[in-house]
Amino acid sequence: MALRPIASLMKGGLILALAGQGLAACSPAHPPDRLDEQTMAAPSIEEVLRQHTGAWMSVPGVVGTAIGRCDGRPCIKILVAEKTRAVEEKIPASVEGYPVKVEVTGRFRARE
């Protein structure tokens, strides 16, 4: 009979120990006022395109921007009338983690 209270205490101690470990795992690794780059959500490709289109459209020869697929993953496409030095110098290979591809389309014209 003396074993029963000890076993109950041991069970209770084990439960408290496990609960303490669970609470420790939930506590923040960094102070709450510090933002970590890994905890910040990356902008969507649509947001990145919206943020940079104005600057890209100001590059001589750029006629449009789009979202496409490059090597099976989403990418940003810069549509140009022709590849020029300005295009090569001003258009990056990637932006905010998304690949950027320059695609020669020629000039766009409205149909009559």
pLDDT at 54 over 50: yes
**Residue 69 belongs to a domain with what CATH number?**
3.30.300.50
pLDDT at 57 over 60: yes
Residue 73: domain span: 45-104
Residue 76 in contact with residue 49, Cβ under 8 Å?
yes
Q: Tell me, what's the pLDDT at 41?
A: 84
- Token pair of 30 as six digits: 């960094």
Q: How far apart are CA 102 and CA 76, in angstroms?
A: 9
Count structural domains, the chain. Answer: 1
pTM: 0.62
**SS3 at position 67:** strand
Q: Tell me, what's the pLDDT at 39?
A: 59
Q: Which residues pair with residue 68 across a beta bridge? A: 75
Q: How far apart are CA 97 and CA 85, in angstroms?
A: 24
